[in-house]
Structure 1
Amino acid sequence: MLAMASLIPISQPLFTSNTKPQTPIATAQTSDLPPRILSRRDTILFSSAASLFLSLSPTNPAYAFSLGISGPKEWLKDQKKKSSRFLLAPIDASREALRSAYLSLDKESEYTDKDLENLQNLFKTSARDCVPKERSSLVDFQSKTGVEVCTFKLVVKNAASLLDDKDPLKLEAENILNDLVRSFGSLIVLTNGSDMNLPSDRKKIADAVMEAISYLDKFEKGVKDCLEI
């Protein structure tokens, strides 16, 4: 028995009085930190900083004014003023056509069919496609597809593009344009049913021409008012 006992190794105890239990190596645990939520104070500070930045930006009217820089609307208005002569050119051309028509009515010689045709062409030219019945087939087709063909309406639209729809200046220009278009229509109707060799008929047409020129002058003033020139 003793011999067998000597063959069986005696295992060492896990812990002795001279040993301390080994501390297991702790596995590092990583956890995502929760996102930092802006406090009310942080939010107020951030908003204040953003407001300050925007107030100092060039798009701010006060900032632009302090540096002498005009805003986009003022810049566009200035550009319209500089190019106003091109916008008013159709009005000048129509006025010259009406004056030529008036001078042709003042002639003492017999008024021929050719003279009448030239007179009617002057009236149609001065109307600038604003009288529907006198439009060519192509222009009439364009108007039916939604394209604005009346030159004077395009002039008003351009001149008043920076104004509100209910702006008094824009409404006044549009009202005068309606009167102008009616006067052009009356001119064309008068020439179709008049004897150009009768002094009374010529005078009637001449008076209508002067009325159209008067409306044209008022219309030009209305456009200039929209442009502030």
Structure 2
Amino acid sequence: MSPLLASLIPSIATAATLPLKPPNSTPSQFPHRSSPELNTLSRRNAAVLLSSIITPLLPSLLQPRLASALSFGISGPKEWLKEQKKKSAKFLLAPVDASRNILQTAYLLLMKSEAEFGTNDLEEVQKLVVSAARDCVPQDRNSFVEFQANTGVEVCTFRLIVKNASSLLDDRDPIKLEAEAKLSDLIRSFSSLNGIARESGVQLTSDSRQRVAGALKDTISSLNNFEQVINDCLQV
């Protein structure tokens, strides 16, 4: 493995695995957890780094492995790269796991009793939904992320995951096409969820809460399906 890649992977792993702190938690329940804003940034950076580091290094990674394969009759460079991708699967999928945890926290907030649920809880749910979307819903992007998108930089964390996981597959490979389809489903789910959460506004009716809760469950299901197809791409 390249010395540069070897030196960067520990920092990526650290950034990618930082947990999020659900609201109203105590230190004993969730030790050593940082803010959603920092974790959103660190996990997004982990996905970006994994995608941006591997591609430029492919020529240097392939050449020594190719020579080794020819000399000793071992598996070729593509197989070696597949193994490296498998090993990095948990880091690559860390943003998916983090988003699922955020949505589950939002769902638990919505399941509070009528007497316990208040305006602050609804506002917290809306913030959590935006955080979980990972810059994949245009209307929820901040100005800097929007600027990146307008200049041609990929800003959707989940799309970066697909690109990384499927980079060794042919464009018409059924698994790669399935991953792209699941990505589209996931982005639609997040867009629908965000729209429903916004429509609810400050309304605290049981019906509006049930609508948001239903959309949350659908989005969590889409995340699970997305995670599975990414594992298929990685052959995990």
Distance 1:111 1:136 in 2: 29
Distance 1:209 1:68 in 2: 51
Identity of aligned residues (%): 54
For 1:147, the aligned partner's letter is V
Partner residue of 1:131 out of 133, 137, 141? 137
Distance 1:92 1:228 in 2: 18
For 2:158, the aligned partner's letter is F
For 1:200, the aligned partner's letter is D
**CA deviation after TM superposition for structure 1 residue 214, in Å:** 0.5
For 1:145, the aligned partner's letter is T
Tell me if 1:187 matches 2:187: no
CA contact (8 A) 2:68 2:74 kept: no
**CA deviation after TM superposition for structure 1 residue 113, in Å:** 2.9
In the alignment, which residue of structure 2 is the partner of 1:145?
Answer: 151
In the alignment, which residue of structure 1 is the partner of 2:22?
Answer: none
For 1:122, the aligned partner's letter is L
Distance 2:145 2:120 in 1: 25
In the alignment, which residue of structure 1 is the partner of 2:228?
Answer: 221
Partner residue of 1:198 out of 202, 205, 227? 205
For 1:171, the aligned partner's letter is L
RMSD, aligned α-carbons: 1.7
| TM-score (norm. length: structure 2) | 0.68
Structure with max Cα Rg: 1
Work out the number of aligned pairs and report it. 169
Aligned positions of 1:1-229 closer than 5 A: 59=67, 67=72, 69-108=74-113, 109-194=115-200, 196-229=203-236
**CA deviation after TM superposition for structure 1 residue 112, in Å:** 2.9
Distance 1:188 1:226 in 2: 28
**CA deviation after TM superposition for structure 1 residue 193, in Å:** 1.5
| TM-score (norm. length: structure 1) | 0.70
Tell me which protein shows more helix as a share of its residues.
2
For 2:99, the aligned partner's letter is S
